[in-house]
Structure 1
Amino acid sequence: MSSRPGTTGATTTVAASAEHATGAAGASGTTPERPVIATARGLVKTYGRGEATVRALDGVDVDLERGRLTAIMGPSGSGKSTLMHCLAGLDSPTVGTVVVDGETVSAMSERRLTRLRRTRIGFVFQSFNLVPTLTAEENIVLPLAVARRPVDREWFDRVVDAVGLRPRLGHRPAELSGGQQQRVACARALVSRPAVVFADEPTGNLDSRAAAEVLGFLRSSVDDLGQSVAMVTHDPTAASYAHRVLFLADGRLVTELRDPTPQAVLDTLGALTPAASAGAHPADPAHEPAGVR
């Protein structure tokens, strides 16, 4: 399992990124360094009507790189989870286009979306969402059973060994720690060999030790298994496991860091938060609809 990266990597300051963004391609302000697995163009998402309208996403363009762990961060109300939900086909943009692994998600019927999510996209949420009556192994292979697809035992073994769950495969969720349950959820997301895994606050319910285990696995799934992962988080330490961190404020993608350190992430968030608080876009939790995070 990978140890925490990002302790010596180069970072991009907020000011430098903002300056770079004015003349470069892509919403993040930089041209992707690798082929992309998911793309959004002109993404707008609004909730409510009239004076109560909230613009959760405001013209976002973004490329997620294939074979990389990308973290998405921002102040409360910045739209980071809304962006992930639109990218993953869990929510529809009001305006704009989303393409995942060559498929135009934003133009799909619900039936095609369901098939895409079942076969090409993996999910890890803050809640473990395990079936309590099933063993760890049965929970891991559940997506394949639902899709009526055979289990690739060689791949299953690689995933299970990478996540360190082999001694616990016969245990039910109640017999597992929180960290072990989330590792089961991670293995479940990977077992179908998805094109991309979307993780929404995957360590939000874990203590620091369990969080480090899960984050280490997500990073090693990229470095060792070739997975592509996008992760929403509010935790600078969690973000430091990523190859790249994208920052949102007021529904816009404003800057990024590559190979970040926890301190660089914290400094960038600190610079963004006052601006978000002073902006016209409502970030007050009392005014934002559920799901705008």
Structure 2
Amino acid sequence: MSQLFASPGTPDTPVTEPAARAVGLTKVYGRGETRVTALEAVSVEFDQGRFTAVMGPSGSGKSTLMHCMAGLDPVTSGLTRIGDVELSSLNDRQLTRLRREKVGFVFQGFNLLSTLTTLENITLPLRLAGQRPDRAWLDTVVATVGLADRLAHRPAELSGGQQQRVAVARALVSRPEIVFADEPTGNLDSRSGAEVLGFLRDSVRELHQTVVMVTHDPVAAAHADRVVFLADGHLVDELYEPTADRVLDVMLTFETRDRRTP
């Protein structure tokens, strides 16, 4: 990878099992003339207790990487792990259980149930798993995302930013090993988006959560500890302690390269 944008302040962290890892990950869609290689031999690790952003031009493979590493989409070759569990070794039932117990999801669409209150939406994954919430942890999560006075409200009574905060709380309430967020601020105005990014940041800093966020926005990426960059299905660069300007500088190199490509 290029060292041009590497930070001299790359954090020194204890050697621990990554929260998630891909080794030689390749994902191909279609066959023959319709064959598209979305990811090619991508190897990447996401450290525990860190906030990582995944960026790249449209079609670079950002969301495909997230879907494969979260077990939402099977890989063509290579391996993906959540903790020490290799996803390809699991059958459908085991994979569903792993996603339910070890992975949290936050999507661009809030995916809340309109007939449920905020509290019911937050605790839905636990209820589906036949579990009762840890009240102390639930209170901590609700306080972190600032929803204590909105627990009886239904989604239609909440702003877009508040709805996404509910989605963040829902992702955190089961104490997952890792949270994957796919363009979580894409449907929000700048103020609401900044609030949600702040809550994701707080979940890492205060709740020791691991977050991987796919985004196209340099300002959003600047909330992360680290940014990894994809282009044409390859991992091409990374940046620690990012700022929006530094992220934008990296992204501009992709545009310059594309203009020079015949």
Shorter chain as normaliser: what TM range?
over 0.9
Query: Which residue, 229, 234, 239 being the options, matches 1:257?
Result: 239
Identity, in percent, stands at 59
> Which residue, out of 68, 78, 100, partners 2:50?
68
2:178 corresponding residue in structure 1: 196
After the TM superposition, which residues 242-281 of structure 1 pair with which residues of structure 2 at under 5 Å, given as runs?
A: 242-276=224-258
Aligned length: 257
* Structure 2 unpaired stretches of 5+: none
Instruction: Name the aligned partner's letter for residue 89 of structure 1.
Output: G
Q: Say if 2:63 is the partner of 1:81.
A: yes
Q: Any residues of structure 2 matched to 1:36-115 within 5 Å, and which?
A: 36-115=18-97
Equivalent position to 1:163, from 128, 140, 145: 145
Alignment check: 8 A CA contact 2:22 2:43 kept:
yes
Q: Which moved more, 1:194-203 or 1:97-106?
A: 97-106
Q: Structure 1 98/219 Cα, relative in aligned 2: closer, same or farther at 3 Å?
A: same
Change (3 A) 1:248 1:17: same
User: Which residue identity is paired with 1:76?
Assistant: S
Residue pair 1:68, 1:227 contacting (<8 A) in 2 also: yes
Compared with structure 1, are the counterparts of its residues 226 and 31 closer, same or farther at alpha carbon in structure 2 (3 Å cutoff)?
closer
The one-letter code matched in structure 2 to 1:103 is: V
Work out whether 1:147 is the aligned partner of 2:129: yes
> CA 1:250–1:220 in structure 2 vs 1: closer, same or farther (change >3 Å)?
same
Whole-angstrom distance in 2 between the partners of 1:69 and 1:140: 22
Q: 8 Å contact 2:5–2:250 — kept in the other structure?
A: no
**Contact 2:23–2:44 (8 Å) recurs in 1:** yes
**CA deviation profile, 1:149-199 (whole Å, cap 9, x unmatched):** 111000000000000001000000000000000000000000000000000
Give the Cα–Cα distance (whole angstroms) in 2 for the partners of residues 267 and 198 of structure 1.
25
Q: 2:158 matched to which residue of 1?
A: 176
Alpha-carbon contact 2:47-2:210 (below 8 Å) kept: yes
Q: 1-side partners of 2:59 and 2:26: how far apart?
A: 15
Q: What secondary structure does 2:174 align onto?
A: coil
Q: C-alpha separation between the residues in 1 aligned to 2:32 and 2:172?
A: 42
Distance in structure 2 (CA, Å) of the matches to 1:108 and 1:97: 12
Say if 1:129 and 1:185, in contact at 8 Å, map to a contact too: yes
Q: Is the alpha carbon distance of 1:249 and 1:171 closer, same or farther for their aligned partners in structure 2, counting shifts above 3 Å?
A: same
Offset at 1:99? 0.7
TM-score, normalising length: structure 1: 0.84
Query: Does the 8 Å contact 1:124/1:185 carry over to 2?
Result: yes
Alignment RMSD: 1.9
Q: Of the two structures, which has the highest relative contact order with CA contacts closer than 8 Å and spacing of 6 or more?
A: 1
The AA in structure 2 aligned to 1:228 is: T
Give secondary structure in 2 for the equivalent of 1:16: coil
Gaps of 5+ in 1: 1-12, 19-29, 281-293
* Paired letter, 1:181: Q
Q: State the Cα distance separating 1:276 from its structure 2 match.
A: 4.7
1:16 aligns with 2:14: no
> Cα distance 1:32–1:232, how it changes in 2: closer, same or farther (>3 A)?
farther
1:32/1:65 contact within 8 Å kept: no
1:209 and 2:197 aligned:
no
8 Å contact 1:249–1:276 — kept in the other structure? no
Deviating more after overlay: 107-116 vs 120-129 = 107-116
What amino acid is aligned across from residue 56 of structure 1 in structure 2? Answer: A
Cα distance in 1 between the residues matched to 2:61 and 2:261 = 14
Cα offset, 1:273, TM superposition: 2.8
Dislocated runs of 4+, deviation >2 Å? 13-18, 30-35, 273-280
Give 1:132's match in structure 2, choosing from 114, 119, 127.
114
